[in-house]
Amino acid sequence: MTRTRPWRTAGAAALLVALMAAGIAPARAEETAAPAYSAKGADSCLGCHDDPALLSLFKTKHARPRDDRGPFGHGGLQCEACHGPGGAHVRARGKQPAGIVDFGPHALAPPARQNAQCLGCHQSNVAHEWAASQHAASEVPCAACHTLHATHDPVLATATQAEVCTSCHQAEHTDLFKPSHHPLREGKMACSSCHAPHGSQGPFLLIGNTVTETCTSCHSEYRGPFLWEHQPVAEDCSNCHDAHGSAQPSLLKTRPPFLCQQCHEGAGHPSIFNGPQGLPGGGAPSAYLLAGGCVNCHTQVHGSNHPSGRLLMR
Residues 161 to 200 in contact with another protein, rule: CB under 8 A: 167-171, 173-175, 177-179, 183, 186, 188-189, 199
Q: Is 236 in the site for another protein (CB under 8 A)?
A: yes
Give the Cα separation of 163 and 158 in Å (integer).
10
Residue 252 forms beta bridges with which residues?
241
- Minimum CB–partner distance for residue 42 and another protein (Å): 5
Least Cα distance to 203 among 240, 232, 172, 243 occurs for 243
Q: Is 131 in the site for another protein (CB under 8 A)?
A: yes
Which residues make Cβ contacts (< 8 Å) with residue 43, sequence separation at least 6?
Answer: none
Q: Is 42 in the site for another protein (CB under 8 A)?
A: yes
Give the Cα separation of 132 and 274 in Å (integer).
48
Using CB under 8 A as the binding rule, the residues of this chain from 20 to 39 that contact another protein are 20, 22-24, 26-28, 30-31, 33-37, 39
Using CB under 8 A as the binding rule, the residues of this chain from 258 to 297 that contact another protein are 258, 261-268, 270-277, 279-281, 285-287, 289-293, 295-297
Query: Computed from CA positions of residues 211, 217, 218, 223, in that sequence, does the dihedral angle turn out positive or negative?
Result: positive
Write the binding mask 95 to 124 for another protein: x where contact by CB under 8 A, - elsewhere. ----------xx-----xx-xxx-xxx-xx
C-beta separation of 44 from 38 below 8 A: yes
Using CB under 8 A as the binding rule, the residues of this chain from 67 to 96 that contact another protein are 67-70, 72-73, 75-78, 84-85
- Binding another protein by CB under 8 A: which of 88, 136, 162, 237? 136
3-state secondary structure of 49: coil
End-to-end CA distance of the chain: 67
